[in-house]
């Protein structure tokens, strides 16, 4: 019983999350529908209705005749309703003074409805001209009453077996029956919500991007170490108390826990495609490991489009590529940056990045930096465009896969994980990056706690 209740709750939350993500579409659909209803209300020709109510009775001579007479009238009410639009009643009224309608238009203007469980019938006439509607109904009333009594008269000299009495009307409704502004607005609101809901579901089905940590974990079969929000202060270095920095500290803690269980000193940071915040994540983690008092080396293994040296204000003429091709030694190209952090830049762009990164010299270099430093973080290229990241990940103790929320698709994530598994790389976990700070998928905001006075 509890699990069923939890399932309903989770389902409801997901529906509300979908509605919140597509609230602009719902609002636009409702606004459009209301606009259409407003146009209909403003530009439609008003239709007015006049109504009259008839009571049918049969003369009785004794109490025993009461029930049969009542049943007689009830059974014939549908016949009387047909009589209203017959040639006997409606057709002769066409073209009479004040009624500028043909016979078919007269029939279409008449509507009859029996009152349930009674011997009464309500007749209405609708027309654009309220005076004509009332005039036509008055003439119909007179002609219908006479026609019923004449048809129900057994012989000319005898009284009719049915008496028709007008109990209400003829009277004209105060407001037009069309357009009904309130009904139109209500229907427009419902229609707008339905259209918006269908559109929202369609967008969700068509949207193959990764939005939540739960979806990412299912795709990769690996833990999501943190959800990292976007930081307006910059993609690389954030304030110490910012939500982004706290998320990166969470990743650092998770990696340290993994290192306590097994040897994890070298870490590859990669992504499926470019533009997912991979370099910023690698650089931020390196700074936080150095902040914790460890000797940290961050290696720019992106030999095609390097970024770290330019950002950190260091030289990029020599680095990883020059060490791998034998033109420089590691000691010559290491560049310190702050306390406890060193940078191994990418160096000049080689013609064969994949071959260099998969060479025996790269394996030797990874072993060498593992001995010299407490933590080594490799900023790797994306996995799908080139094989560079896969060959580096295969030589490290673990890999972090950075996935940009609401941009990276499920197919791209699956392909990236498949590429890592193909080289037997160890996927430590994933980072859901650039998560929105507002909305249904936002990272919880603890800014007030982090920056405010100490709680009791």
DSSP string, 224-245: EEEEEEP-TT-SS---TTSHHH
pLDDT in tens, 344-361: 999 999 999 999 999 999
Has residue 8 been placed in a domain?
no
**Burial, 356: exposed, middle or buried (Cβ in 10 Å; 0-12, 13-18, 19+)?**
buried
My answer on whether 63 and 33 are in the same domain is no
Within-domain flag for 3? no
pTM over 0.75: no
Asked whether residue 233 falls in the same domain as residue 372, the answer is yes
Domain that holds residue 35: 18-44+180-202
> Does residue 17 carry a pLDDT above 60?
yes
285 and 323 fall within a common domain = yes
Based on the fold, state whether residues 193 and 338 are members of the same structural domain. no
Residue 65 shares a structural domain with residue 137: yes
Distances (CA, A) of 49 to 133, 180, 342: 7, 13, 88
pLDDT exceeds cutoff 50 at 8: no
Instruction: Report how many domains make up the chain.
Output: 3
Same-domain pairing of 30 and 52: no
Q: Are residues 145 and 275 in the same domain?
A: no
User: Residue 154 phi/psi, 5° resolution?
Assistant: -65, -40
Same structural domain, 226 and 342: yes
With a cut of 60, say whether residue 210 has pLDDT above it.
yes
CATH classification of the domain holding 352:
3.40.50.300
301 and 393 inside one domain: yes
Judge whether 2 lies within some domain. Answer: no
In a domain, 140, yes or no: yes
One domain for residues 165 and 187: no
Q: Worst-scoring range by mean pLDDT, 67-76, 256-265, 311-320? A: 67-76
- 7: in domain: no
| Claim to verify: residue 37 and residue 52 sit in the same structural domain | no
**Cα 101 to Cα 380: distance, rounded to the nearest angstrom:** 84
**Same domain for 125 and 27?**
no
What pLDDT score was predicted for residue 200? 77
């Amino acid at each position: 019983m509890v699990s069923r209740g939890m399932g309903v709750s989770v389902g409801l939350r997901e529906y509300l999350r979908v509605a919140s993500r597509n609230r602009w579409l719902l609002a636009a659909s409702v606004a459009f529908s209301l606009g259409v209803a407003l146009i209909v209300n403003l530009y439609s020709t008003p239709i007015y209705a006049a109504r009259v109510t008839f009571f049918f009775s049969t003369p009785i001579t004794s109490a025993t005749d009461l029930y049969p007479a009542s049943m007689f009238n009830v059974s014939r009410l549908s016949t009387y309703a047909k009589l209203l639009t017959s040639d006997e009643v409606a057709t002769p009224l066409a073209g009479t003074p004040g009624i500028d309608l043909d016979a078919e238009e007269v029939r279409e203007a008449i509507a009859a409805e029996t009152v349930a469980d009674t011997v009464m019938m309500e007749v209405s006439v609708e027309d654009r001209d309220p005076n004509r509607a009332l005039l036509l109904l008055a003439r119909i009333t007179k002609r219908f009453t006479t026609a019923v009594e004449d048809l129900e008269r057994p012989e000319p000299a005898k009284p009719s077996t049915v008496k028709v009495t007008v109990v209400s009307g003829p009277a004209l409704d105060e407001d037009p029956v069309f357009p009904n502004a309130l009904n139109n607005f209500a229907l427009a609101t419902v229609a707008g919500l339905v259209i918006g809901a269908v559109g929202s579901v369609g967008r969700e089905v068509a949207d193959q991007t990764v939005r939540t940590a739960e979806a990412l974990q299912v795709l990769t079969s690996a833990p999501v170490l943190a959800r990292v929000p976007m930081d307006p202060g910059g993609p690389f270095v954030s304030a110490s108390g910012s939500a982004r920095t706290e998320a990166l500290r969470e990743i650092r803690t998770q990696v340290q826990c993994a290192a306590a269980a097994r040897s994890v000193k070298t870490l590859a940071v990669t992504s499926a495609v470019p533009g997912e915040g991979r370099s910023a994540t690698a650089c931020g983690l390196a700074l936080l490991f150095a902040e914790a008092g460890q000797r940290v080396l961050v290696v720019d293994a992106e030999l095609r489009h390097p970024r770290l040296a330019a950002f950190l204000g260091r030289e990029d003429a020599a680095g990883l590529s020059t060490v791998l091709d034998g033109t420089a030694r590691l000691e010559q190209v290491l560049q310190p940056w702050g306390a406890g952090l060193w940078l191994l830049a990418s160096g000049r762009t080689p013609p064969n990045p994949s071959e260099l990164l998969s060479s025996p010299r790269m394996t030797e270099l990874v072993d060498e930096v593992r001995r010299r430093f407490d933590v080594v973080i490799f900023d790797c290229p994306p996995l799908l465009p080139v094989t560079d990241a896969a060959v580096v990940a295969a030589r490290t103790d673990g890999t972090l896969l950075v996935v940009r929320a609401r941009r990276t698709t499920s197919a791209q994530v699956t392909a990236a994980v498949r590429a890592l598994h193909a080289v037997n790389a160890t996927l430590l976990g994933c980072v859901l990056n650039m998560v929105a700070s507002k909305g249904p998928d936002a990272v919880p905001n603890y800014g007030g706690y982090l920056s405010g006075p100490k709680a009791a």
